[in-house]
Amino acid sequence: MNLNSFIFLLIYYSFARYLPVSYSPLSFSVVKPFRGYICKHIFEKCGTNVNIESNVFFGSGVNIKIGNNSTIGINAYIGGIGSGGRLTIGNNVMMARDVVILTKTHNFENVYQPMNTQGGENFSVTIGNDVWIGARVIILPDVVIGDGVIIGAGAVVTKDIPAYSVVGGVPAHLIKMRC
């Protein structure tokens, strides 16, 4: 991370994160573009008209790509702490509040060593274009979500989801196809 990114990360976590939601009358239509501008200097790639809502946590923002017209909802936790794994979010993605996207796991293979000392592994999560992710969805590491997918509120995504699927549940399972 370079000094410029670090300064914008500091600005984000010191106060921009706590500004009102984009649709609040108190945002005066400047909060959404302001947070988007900050994230352009933090993320690996940040498209146009991106909406990062209030209180989103994205670690250092390293290895995060987000496409045009996409929203990360209120209180979302995305990526991993530090350099974590890679997260790619496509264009026109709607993400509701309290979504958790994990890109890092703990190792646990050695039963003679405490798990918290075994380190972890970084993975990628890829979210296609035109995806709707409901409130409180959890997306686990090493998952690819296809274009046009709808994920119902509260679902836990543990494996890849084919394009134009509607999924829900714990673990998430196919409800129907959109086409």
Please give the model's pTM, rounded to 2 decimal places.
0.93
- Predicted confidence (pLDDT) per residue in 39-55, tens digit: 999 999 999 999 999 99
How would you classify the pairing of strands 173-177 and 165-168?
Answer: antiparallel
The pLDDT of residue 81 is 61
- Predicted confidence (pLDDT) per residue in 108-131, tens digit: 999 999 999 998 889 999 999 999
Does 106 qualify as catalytic in the annotation?
yes
Point out the catalytic residue in the list 45, 106, 159, 173: 106
The CATH-assigned architecture of domain 3-177 is: 3 Solenoid (2.160)
Q: Where are the domains of the chain?
A: 3-177
